[in-house]
A and B are shown apart, each in its own frame.
Chain A
Amino acid sequence: MPDSLTCEDVSSRDLVPQYVSGVVSEMDAEALELHVLGCERCWAELQAARDVRAALLEPTSRREDALIAGGSSRSHGRKWLPLVAAAVVLLAAAGAWETWHTPPTVPEVTRGEGVLSITGHWMSEGGLRLEWPARNGAVVYHVRVTGSSARPVEKRVTLPAATFLRSELSPVGQLTVEVQAENAVGEVIAHGSTILPSRP
C-alpha cells in the first residue's frame, strides 16, 4: 500500500506537476493516486494540470480542428466556421506548396536573420537530442520531427533543446526536423529545419 499523503505533502513535493509531466516516481505516483481518491481539491488540481499540459502540448492542427468542429464555447463562433475552415485549407495548401518547393536545408547551417541552426545527436539508447541557439523574444519553441514510417511527433518546449525517445521516432529512414520559435503572442519569429540521417 502506498504512503498516506496530506494536501501539504502534495503541494510541497510538487507531486501534481511531476505526475502530469511523467517525471514522478512510481511510489509517489501511487501515493498521489490513493490521496486523490479521497480529496476533491487535489483531484481538481490534478485534472487542471492535466488539461493545461494537454493544451500546452497541443499541435496547431488539432486546435484548428477543434475550432472547425465548433469547439469554441462562444456562441458567435459558428458563423465564422466556413471562413475559418477555408483559411485552414488555404494555409495547409500554402504550407504544402512551400514544403514541396523548398529544398531541405543542410544540417548545422545558419542562413541569416530569423533562421535557427539545428544540431541533432543520436543518443546511445537510440533517442534523439536536438539543440539550437536561443532566440531573443522566444517564449516557446515548436519542434516537429517527421519520419518516413511513422506519424510526425511534435513538442513545445521553452528551452532551446528537445529530446525524443527511441519509441517516439520512426525506426528507419531519415528524419526531417523543423523548429519554430514563437513570441509571447504566438507569432513565429524564427524557424529552422534540417534533415538527419537514419539512426546508426
Chain B
Amino acid sequence: MSDSSGRDVAPDALAADVAVRYRERLILFAARRLKNRAAAEDAAQETLRRVLDALRQGRVRDLQALPAFTFETARHVCQHMLRDQYATDRAHTALEQQPALVMGEHPDPLSLLVTAERVAQVRETLESLEPTDRVLLQLSFVEGLPTREIADRLGLTPVNVRVRRHRLLRRLGVLVTDSRHEGPEE
C-alpha cells in the first residue's frame, strides 16, 4: 500500500488514522440518511470495520482512492440498514404490531449530534453578536436561504455575506484554524 508520493504505509498505522479521522464524518453522513443518532453510530462503526478490513487485506492499494472507497462503503451500509428497517416495519405491520421505528424519526437529525454543553457554549457566544449577524446566521443555517437572497434582505453583496458568515463562524470559536487545511484542491 502506498501514498500519493509512492511511499509504503503500514496498514495498521493507517487503519488507526482512518478511524480517528473519519469516524465523526461518517456519523454525520449516516445521521442525515438514518435520522437517528444510535443508528448513525452503528453505521459509522460498520463502515469503519469494512474499510479497515479492506486496508488490512490490501484491497485498497491507492490511498488517494480511500475517501471515495470510504464514502461508497458508508452509503452502502446506510442503504442496507434502511432496507432492513423497512422489512422489519412491514413484518410488524403484517402482524398488526406497533412498528419498532428506529430510523426516520427526527426532523433535524444533524442537531442530534451536538451535545447540550456545546449548544450552550455556542448560544452564549451567539447572544453577544450584533442583531444583523444573528439574522445572517439564522437565514443561512436555519432557513437555508440562498446567499443572494440573504444579501438582498440585509443590504449586502453576496460576497460580503459569505465573508461575514465565515468570519462569524470563526468568531464563534467553532472553526478549526485554516492552517490545518489539507484539502485536495482549492
Contacts and interface: CB of A to CB of B under 8 A. Distances in A.
Interface of A: 1-2, 6-8, 11, 14, 17-23, 29-30, 33-34, 36-58, 62-63, 65-67, 69, 71-73, 139-140, 156-159, 165, 167-168, 184-186
Contacts of B140: 14, 17, 21, 49
A21 B143 contact: yes
Given A7-B183, A44-B175, A57 B111 contact: yes
Contacts of A20: 110, 141, 144
Contacts of B138: 56, 140, 156-158
A167 B35 CA distance: 13
Given A1-B68, A20-B141, A51-B118, A33 B181 contact: no
Contacts of A71: 116-117, 119-121
Given A7-B183, A21-B143, A56 B137 contact: yes
Interface string B111-136: 10110111111111011001100110
Interface of B: 22, 24-25, 28-29, 32, 67-68, 70-72, 75, 107-108, 110-111, 113-114, 116-124, 126-127, 130-131, 134-135, 137-144, 146-147, 162, 165-166, 169, 172, 174-176, 178, 180-186
B186 to A, nearest CB: 5
Given A49-B140, A58-B123, 20 more contacts: A6-B185, A20-B110, A20-B141, A23-B144, A30-B71, A34-B67, A39-B182, A40-B181, A50-B111, A52-B137, A52-B174, A53-B111, A54-B118, A55-B123, A57-B108, A66-B119, A66-B120, A72-B120, A156-B142, A184-B131
Nearest to A34: B71
A186 B102 CA distance: 36
A133 B93 CA distance: 45
Instruction: State the majority secondary structure of interface residues on A.
Output: helix
A55 B126 contact: yes
Contacts of A157: 138, 142-143
Contacts of B118: 51, 54
Contacts of A139: 131, 134-135
B166 to A, nearest CB: 8
Contacts of B32: 19, 29
